[in-house]
Amino acid sequence: MKLKTGKAETLKHDERVWKISKTGRLFLRSGSLFRLRKDVLPAYGIMVTDDNRRAIRGKAEEYELLDLKDRRDNPATEDYLRTDWGRLRLEEMFHYAGRQVKELVKAIAEMKKGANVSVVEMPARDLPASRTVAIEMWNDPDARDLFERTTFHLVDYNGSKLTHAEKLMDRYSTNYETHSGMLDTRFLSQQPDGSIDIIISLFHLHRKPFPDYLDHLHRVLSDDGVLVLGGWHSSLFDHPVNWCNFLESVGEKSASEKTRNLLGPELMTPDSHVVLDNEEVRANKEHFDYLKERYEYMRGELGPSARVPRIHVLAAYKTSKAQKQELEDHGFTTDIGDDFPGADLIETPIRLINGSDFISFMLAKKKKEQERG
């Protein structure tokens, strides 16, 4: 199949794909192909060129904003995606982030000798990891005095979530500012170069199909600044056959058939060159099983005639190895232990589930000039 390269045909192709889910009233929809990582778009029939790049990026940003508005205006939507297992994973992630950021704050405060330490969290949500950092600092006699010198910036498009976050942060008499109704990219664009010491970004990078987002983070981080990342990893939707298999597994054969016909047999043939390790294979299975379980749950809760919420499944997920590589390609390194002597930091990436790549936690630092090569 000839890949779409022109702007108009690219947009049309994408529209045809996502409309299948919309008109089919699926409980979980594909959403736009432009939410996928740009390097997997060829598998879906699109080649990113100078002609269509801007349109793809523009649409990706538009859809991201639509999603944010939708979740802000329909908070119950998120309940459909929540599981107890997921909640425990979030809790775990916060514990990791809290502990590690506390250690970083101590180390950076020592290095900065009296100057303020700035910690940005985006998106902060209603239960920010920052409050876990504050709990850790409060419960560490060596860190408690650092509250005065630490400023947390909580950034979230959803103002009501930040209102809740404020009430939790108020416990600690710590310095914090909330940036409500603000997109992360806007917040970053307003920050001077090298002005932020720590950026916490959890369960967020899968919303960024263009890896140059990391360049924005790189710019604003100080030379000893650290990126604290955690999230879901999967390569499930690196190939459209998995989306079709998912649809068939939940009984949506018609939608699967339409997608297969649209993309054609050539694109639907899995790429035999892709090699995944066991943990990555298991991550894909867990991702698949999670979506299937949620689909069945929503079907049970909503029934055939209910209004279906806008929940889109395709996103820029990647394996943790690929994430690490992407960080390195954009001037970061995950090998940071030696840069903070005395700080009790773990070696990352660290996979939270035994035998699976599905969720991992990472610390990344700007590479020194000589390392960038």
Partner 1 sequence: MALRLISENEFEEKDQMLQDITRGLMMESGSLARMCVEDIEFWLRGKLDDKARERVKESSETSYSQDYSDERVYHTVERAIENANLEGNSALNNIAAMHVVEKLIAMNRIRPFEEVFKEKKKPVRIADVGAGKGATTLAVWNRIRMNEEARKLIPFCKFYLIDPSDEVVDHARREAKSHGLGLKKTKNYKIEEDTFRNVFGEKEDAFFDMVYSTAVCHHFSDESYLLLMHQKLADEGILIMADWFTSVWGHPAYVEPILSEFGASTHKINRFHSIFNVGNANYQDLLDKLPDEDRRANEEMLNFVIALGREMDKLDRRLRIPFLEAHEPMERRVEKMGNNRLVTDLKELQAKHTAFVNQQQNIVRVFPSTTIAQIILAANVKGNRIHKQSV
Task: With contacts defined by CB under 8 A, name the span among 25-33, 82-90, 198-206, 212-220 that binds partner 1.
Answer: 82-90
d(C-alpha 198, C-alpha 100), whole Å: 11
Shortest spacing between CB 142 and partner 1, in angstroms: 11
By C-beta, is 133 or 255 nearer to partner 1? 133
H helix runs in 193-239, sequence order: 213-220
Among 22, 95, 216, 285, binds partner 1 (CB under 8 A): 95
Task: Return the residues of window 323-362 that contact partner 1 according to CB under 8 A.
Answer: 344, 346, 350-356
CB of 347 to partner 1, least distance (A): 9
Residue 319 identity (one-letter amino acid): T
**Ramachandran sector of residue 355 (left: φ over 0; alpha: ψ -120 to 50; beta: rest):** left
| 92 near partner 1, judged by CB under 8 A | yes
CB 98 within 8 A of CB 133: yes
- CA nearest neighbour of 183 among 94, 256, 122, 118: 122
Can you tell me which of 80, 138, 210, 288 binds partner 1, judged by CB under 8 A? 138
The one among 50, 84, 142, 369 contacting partner 1 by CB under 8 A: 84
Per CB under 8 A, 230 contacts partner 1: no
193 binds partner 1 (CB under 8 A): no
- Regarding 172 and contact with partner 1 (CB under 8 A), the answer is yes
Indicate if the alpha-carbon torsion angle 193, 197, 202, 206 is positive or negative. positive
Q: Which is nearer to partner 1, 65 or 88 (CB)?
A: 88
In the chain, what is the greatest distance between 2 CA atoms, to the nearest angstrom? Answer: 64
- Among 141, 265, 303, 341, the residue binding partner 1 under the rule CB under 8 A is 141
Residues 179, 198: Cα–Cα separation, whole Å: 16
DSSP assignment of 298-321, as one string? HHHHH-TTSPPP--B-------HH
Alpha-carbon distance of 148 to 172, in angstroms, equals 10
Residue type, 255: A
Question: Least distance (Å) from partner 1 to the CB of residue 76?
Answer: 12
**Contact positions toward partner 1, by CB under 8 A?**
84-85, 88, 91-92, 94-96, 98-100, 126, 131-132, 135-136, 138-139, 141, 164, 167-168, 171-173, 344, 346, 350-356
